[in-house]
Amino acid sequence: MPINPSPAAHDAVDRRPRGALATGIVLWGVGGVLLFVAQGIYRLTPIALEPLRDGALTTSQACVYAAWVLLNTFLEGYRGFQRGFAPRVVTRALVLAARPRPLLVLLAPLYCMGLMHASRRRLIASWSLLLGIIAIIILVRRAPPPWRAIVDGGVVVGLTYGFVAQLVFLARGLVGRAERVAPDLPARSPLR
C-alpha cells in the first residue's frame, strides 16, 4: 500500500541507515516489535496444537479450524501485517534513525507501532487495535476447548505470517529498498 510520505520519509526509506547508531536504532525499533509478535506466537502455539496432537477435533471442528487458519492468514497476515503494519513499522524506524530523538529512541518499539509520536488518526487506530486485541485475548481465554485452540490456531498462523513479513521489510529497509509508506507523524514533528 504505497503512499506518498513526507520528504523526510522519502529520504529515510530511499537509503540504508547511515552508520552503526542508525542501524542499531532500526534494529531496536523493529526488533522490539518482532519480540512482541514472537512472544504471542510462543505462548499460543502449544494451545493451538493441543487438539491436533490429541486428535480431539470432530470433522466439523477440524473444518472450522482449517477455515479459520486460512481466513487469518489472509486478514491478519497479508492484509494486516504485510499490507499495513510491517512496512509502516520499518518506515517509522528508518525515519527515527535518520533524525533520532533520545526519548523516541528509548521507546522505539512503541514509536514504531504508532503508539506514540504519531498523527491523531494513527494514534487512535493503533491504540484502538491494541485495546481491541487485549479485549479479544480476555474473551478467548474463557472459550471452552477446543474453540480456544481453534481461535489461537488462526492467530498463530497470522502472527507467524506477519513475523516473516516484518523480517522481509526489515531486510529491505536495511539495504535502502524500504516500501514507501506514510510514517504518520504529527504535523509539527521534528522528524519531518
Q: How far apart are CA 71 and CA 65, in angstroms?
A: 10
Q: How far apart are CA 191 and CA 73, in angstroms?
A: 34
Establish if 62 belongs to a structural domain: yes
- For residue 188, what pLDDT band results from cuts at 50, 70 and 90? confident
Please give the full DSSP string across 75-132, using - where no structure is assigned: IIIIIIIIIIIHHHHHHHHHHHHHS--HHHHHTHHHHHTTSSSS-HHHHHHHHHHHHH
pLDDT at 6 (0 to 100): 61
Predicted confidence (pLDDT) at residue 46 exceeds the cutoff of 80 = yes
Establish if 192 belongs to a structural domain: no
Q: pLDDT (tens digit, 9 = 90+) per residue, 49-97?
A: 999 999 999 999 999 999 999 999 999 999 999 999 999 999 999 999 9
For the segment 103-107, the average pLDDT, to the nearest whole number, is: 98
Establish if 187 belongs to a structural domain: no
Establish if 116 belongs to a structural domain: yes
pTM for the whole thing?
0.91
Degrees, nearest 5: CA angle 172-29-153:
80
Q: pLDDT (tens digit, 9 = 90+) per residue, 134-171?
A: 999 999 999 999 999 999 999 999 999 999 999 999 99
Establish if 2 belongs to a structural domain: no
Establish if 191 belongs to a structural domain: no
Query: How many structural domains are present in the chain?
Result: 1
For the segment 100-118, the average pLDDT, to the nearest whole number, is: 98
Query: Is residue 30 within 8 Å of residue 89, measured between CB atoms?
Result: yes
Query: Is residue 95 within 8 Å of residue 175, measured between CB atoms?
Result: no
pLDDT at 2 (0 to 100): 47
Provide, rounded to the nearest whole percent, the portion of the chain with pLDDT above 70. 93
Residue range(s) defining the domain that contains residue 153:
7-174
Establish if 189 belongs to a structural domain: no
Q: How far apart are CA 165 and CA 149, in angstroms?
A: 24
Total number of residues shown for the chain? 192
Establish if 58 belongs to a structural domain: yes
Q: How many helices (H) and strands (E) does the chain have?
A: 8, 0
